[in-house]
């Protein structure tokens, strides 16, 4: 039996079923919960732009979370719309998702991670080694969000 992080896999979204789960988690955990005035667009061109990589987090084969890993310039990666299924939050899945996304960014040669955090998730990022500060060249920051970043060791 596998235990701990070995029960997890973070991988690019592939099948129609995975795309459906990816969009459902973003709709429910992020847009409905945190951005009620904002419509969610499944066909946003950013989802398929070169250098942007939608991922799902699997736990024991079940999709429990999502993140899009966007390459920014030669040394940075942005983690976009990090979300854990609403009924499964605060069970450690988000911590693992960040760790695996950081590993993926490192393998892509991007040792600096940038996140535009919703204020309600700031404590989560701070608990996982992210810090506010000057994270340059990462595009405009919507007024309601807080930019955090991390240099991978």
Ligand X SMILES: CC(C)(COP(=O)(O)OP(=O)(O)OC[C@H]1O[C@@H](n2cnc3c(N)ncnc32)[C@H](O)[C@@H]1OP(=O)(O)O)[C@@H](O)C(=O)NCCC(=O)NCCS
| By the rule CB under 6 A, 77 interacts with ligand X | no
Strand 8-12 and strand 131-132: the pairing is unpaired
Give the nearer residue to ligand X in terms of CB position, either 121 or 135.
121
Binding characters for ligand X, 106-145, by CB under 6 A (x = yes): -----------xx-xx-xx--x------------------
Residue nearest to ligand X (CB): 94
Q: Map residue 35 onto helix, strand or coil.
A: coil
* Rounded CA separation 29/89 (Å): 9
Q: Which two tokens stand for residue 97?
A: 């998702």
Q: How far is the CB of 80 from ligand X (least distance, A)?
A: 8
CA dihedral sign, ordered 113, 119, 125, 130: positive
Strand 112-117 and strand 76-84: the pairing is parallel
Q: How far is the CB of 128 from ligand X (least distance, A)?
A: 6
Footprint on this chain of ligand X (rule: CB under 6 A)? 29-30, 33-34, 82-84, 89-95, 117-118, 120-121, 123-124, 127
């Amino acid at each position: 039996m596998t235990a701990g992080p070995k029960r997890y896999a973070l991988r690019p979204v592939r099948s129609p079923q995975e795309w459906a789960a990816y969009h459902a988690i973003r709709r429910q955990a992020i847009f409905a919960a945190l951005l009620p005035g904002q419509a969610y667009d499944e066909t946003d061109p950013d989802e398929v732009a070169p250098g942007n990589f939608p991922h799902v987090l699997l736990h024991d084969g079940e999709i429990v979370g999502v993140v899009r890993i966007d390459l920014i310039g030669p040394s940075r990666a942005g983690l976009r719309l990090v979300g854990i299924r609403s009924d499964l939050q605060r069970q450690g899945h988000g911590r693992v998702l960040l760790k695996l996304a950081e590993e993926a960014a490192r393998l892509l040669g991007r040792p600096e991670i940038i996140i535009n955090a919703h204020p309600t998730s700031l404590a989560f990022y701070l608990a996982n080694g992210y810090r506010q500060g000057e994270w340059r060249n990462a595009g405009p920051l919507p007024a309601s969000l807080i930019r955090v970043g991390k240099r991978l060791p």
